[in-house]
Amino acid sequence: MGNDFRHNQPSARRTSLRRLSVGLLAVVALFASACGSGSDDGGGDSSGDDVDAGTPVPGGELVYGLEAETSGGWCLSESQLAVSGIMVARAIYDTLTVPDADGEYVPFLAESVESNEDYTQWTVTLRDGITFHDGTALDSTVVKNNIDSWRGEYPGRNPLLMRFAYGNLASVEVVDDLTLTITTNTPWPSLPAYLYYQGRVGIMAQA
């Protein structure tokens, strides 16, 4: 019985392999048949009359759909954005910093973001020559007003989430047209990340 078992075992393996091979060939043949059954005229003649797009003009209406409600509109200091809402906001507004390929936060609208030795005061220098869509210049006063709106410094505005996120900010002061200082209550080494904050804190033009 032992000799018979050792002799028959390879035969059983060969039979199983043959069955597996036949099965695989059948699947491949079926797949190839399905792929080849499409119509040959799928890429038919797409020629037609040219459409005149006309001259671009400002204004109009944009209709968009998101996976969750975006409350507060696109005033970023008050809006509550889902993930897709943040993606839209990033396409509209730019931020002072952005993450690079290594996950470090580097200047973007800012030319530099530098701290003192204990990370309680930061100097933000803006890039020169940046303008908003309406042609107004980006300057330190506009940036200060944006940051102060997120901190809840303006009556009648409720920044909700950002009020807590920026709770460690003590003051924002304008030094000159392109420079401002941000003072914090306690050391805040991660401030450059909060000047991006997933793209939620894009800089808006002065209303």
**Could you tell me the CATH number of the domain that includes residue 193?**
3.90.76.10
Residue 12 covered by a domain: no
Range of the domain at 170: 83-199
pLDDT of residue 73: 67
Residue 31 covered by a domain: no
pLDDT of residue 47: 56
Token pair 């900010």 in the structure block, residue: 169
pLDDT of residue 152: 83
Residues linked to residue 27 through DSSP beta bridges, in sequence order = none
- Give mean pLDDT in consecutive 10-residue pieces for the chain, a chain of 207 residues: 41 49 56 53 58 84 70 70 80 94 97 98 98 94 93 75 88 98 98 93 87
Is residue 97 within 8 A of residue 110, CB to CB? The reply is yes
pTM: 0.65
Residue 39 covered by a domain: no
pLDDT of residue 28: 53
Q: What is the C-alpha separation between 80 and 95, in angstroms, rounded?
A: 17
- Domain count of the fold of the chain: 1
Residue 132 covered by a domain: yes
**Per-residue tokens: 149:** 């709106």
Residue 181 covered by a domain: yes
CA distances from 9 to 15, 71, 78 (A): 10, 70, 75
